[in-house]
Structure 1
Amino acid sequence: MEIRRLVVDDIPECMKLITDRGWTWTPEQWEMMLALGPGYGAFDASGLLGTALTTPYPEMQAISGVLVASWAGRRGIGTQLMSNILDISPSSLYATAMGQPLYERLGFHPVGQTVAYFGTFDGPAAGVTRVATTADAPALADLDREVSGFTRPGLWDRLVNPAGPYTVLMSGDGVVATRPNPTGVTIGPLIASSATAACALIADIAAGRSEVRVDTDNADVANYLVGSGFEERPGGCVLMVHGAADVPTDRSRYFAPASHALG
């Protein structure tokens, strides 16, 4: 078995793993992740067996995309892929129920949890936002760093790029973005001064859309979603860290992550 860095040409093989494991990543998401940080794949003569990605921030790396093919289980592939990246810096990740035991064995500990809500928003737009432009990217990156604890201007350059598949709305109280998923869009990041402000941002970006997904750890936002046509479904994840006590900052204004992959 060989472990090597993934390239864009490997994305079709990565998508086979996604299908095998029932994940919802798109080829565009793989392309973005490989542009923002290195990803590694385990290969043998049959092809790609497993993957692990890392997005390096100055404060902490975000680990994601840890997948092992169902036909290659119980060979230690996930552990080998993780050992390839784990000692680079303090690390965070969002663990699925399937992955959490592996991460606990590797020394990760939980510091939070998101719950997944899906639905078609049945209320009116709040009318409090405007579309973010490329000129807003530096200020949004500064706000994101203050709230999430991660320095990632490259992410915001991509999110506000008018040629990209993302929608970003902002107000004086925060910012919200969406990215495509196979059945609609996923909201995140969602940064707001309060839960009330977060709900107004959700209303503006979700009104008139098809199915929307929101991953949140805030009870007030969750209640608002349930009252607006959403339901809780499987898909929530446990936020875990390695090599640090917690994520870098107080996330009380971070109502939905940029993604489970990006932290």
Structure 2
Amino acid sequence: MEIRRLVVDDIPECMKLITDRGWSWTPEQWQVMLALGPGYGAFDASGLLGTALTTPYPEMQAISGVLVASRAGRQGIGTKLMSNILDISPSALYATTMGQPLYERLGFHPVGQTVAYFGTFDGQAPGVTRKATPADAAALADLDREAGGYTRPAFWDLVLDPSGPHEVLMSDDGVVATRPNPTGVTIGPLIAPSATAACALVADMAAGRGEVRVDTDDADVAAYLTGHGFEERPGGCVLMVAGAANVPGDRSRYFAPASHALG
């Protein structure tokens, strides 16, 4: 078995792994992840056996995409891939129920949890936002660093690229973005000074958009969503940290992550 860095040409093999494990990542998501940080794959003569990705920030790295092919389960491949990146810096990840025991063995501890809500928004857009442009990248990166805790200007340059698939709306003190998923769009990050303000941002983004997914840990935002056409579905994850007591930032203003992969 060989562990090496993944490249764009490996994405078709990565998608076979996604299908095998029943995940919903798209080729475009793999491209984004490999553009923002290194990913590693375990290979043998049969092809790709497993993956682990890391997105490095100055404060902490976000780990994601830890997948092992069903044919290669219980061979320690996930542990070997994780050991390849865990000594880099303090780490955070969003764990599925299946993955949580592995991460606990590797020294991660839970610090939060998101619940997945899906629905077609049945309310009205209050009109509290405007469309963000590349000229807003520096201001949004500063806001993201304050609330989410990560310094990641490259992420905002990518998300605000007019040729990309993302949409970003902003207010004076908040931001909401979307990215495509297989059935619609997923909201994230969602940053606002209060739950009320966060709900207004969601309404502006979700009105007339078809099916929308929101992953949140906030009870008030959850209640707003379920009151406007959303329902809880499987897909929530446990936020876990290793090498630090908690994630950085003022998480009271961070109502949905940039993604489970990016933190």
Q: Does the alignment reach a TM-score above 0.5?
A: yes
> Residue 260 of structure 2 aligns to a residue in which SS?
coil
- Report the number of matched residues: 263
Contact persistence 1:173–1:197 (CA under 8 A): no
Letter paired with 1:199:
C
The CA deviation string for residues 45-103 of structure 1, in whole angstroms up to 9 with x for no partner, is 00000000000000000000000011110100000000000010000000000000000
Which residue in the other structure is 1:70 paired with? 70
Residue 172 of structure 1: how far off its partner (Å):
1.3
Which residue in the other structure is 2:47 paired with? 47
Percent identity between matched residues is 86
Letter paired with 2:129:
T
Which residue in the other structure is 1:30 paired with? 30
Residue 210 of structure 1: how far off its partner (Å):
1.3
Which residue in the other structure is 1:88 paired with? 88
Q: Does 1:254 align with 2:254?
A: yes
Which residue in the other structure is 2:121 paired with? 121
1-side partners of 2:101 and 2:260: how far apart? 18
1-side partners of 2:146 and 2:90: how far apart? 18
1-side partners of 2:35 and 2:158: how far apart? 10
1:102-113 equivalent positions in 2, closer than 5 A: 102-113=102-113
1-side partners of 2:24 and 2:120: how far apart? 18
Letter paired with 1:86:
L
Which residue in the other structure is 1:135 paired with? 135
Contact persistence 1:175–1:190 (CA under 8 A): yes
Deviating 4+ runs (over 3 angstroms): none
1:105-184 equivalent positions in 2, closer than 5 A: 105-184=105-184
2-side partners of 1:39 and 1:179: how far apart? 21
TM normalised by structure 1 equals 0.99
Which residue in the other structure is 1:97 paired with? 97
> Residue 179 of structure 1 aligns to a residue in which SS?
strand
Residue 250 of structure 1: how far off its partner (Å):
2.6
Which residue in the other structure is 1:13 paired with? 13
Letter paired with 2:192:
A
Letter paired with 1:100:
Q
2-side partners of 1:42 and 1:124: how far apart? 48
1-side partners of 2:237 and 2:124: how far apart? 29
Contact persistence 1:112–1:239 (CA under 8 A): yes
Residue 208 of structure 1: how far off its partner (Å):
0.3
2-side partners of 1:240 and 1:32: how far apart? 22
Residue 225 of structure 1: how far off its partner (Å):
0.2
Which residue in the other structure is 2:198 paired with? 198
2-side partners of 1:6 and 1:228: how far apart? 41
Which residue in the other structure is 1:58 paired with? 58
TM normalised by structure 2 equals 0.99
2-side partners of 1:24 and 1:178: how far apart? 16
Which residue in the other structure is 1:243 paired with? 243
The CA deviation string for residues 91-118 of structure 1, in whole angstroms up to 9 with x for no partner, is 0000000000000000000000000000
> Residue 128 of structure 1 aligns to a residue in which SS?
coil
2-side partners of 1:27 and 1:138: how far apart? 28
> Residue 240 of structure 1 aligns to a residue in which SS?
strand
2-side partners of 1:137 and 1:236: how far apart? 29
Residue 173 of structure 1: how far off its partner (Å):
3.1
Q: 5+ residue gaps in structure 1?
A: none
Residue 249 of structure 1: how far off its partner (Å):
2.3
The CA deviation string for residues 103-140 of structure 1, in whole angstroms up to 9 with x for no partner, is 00000000000000000001111111100000000000
Q: 5+ residue gaps in structure 2?
A: none
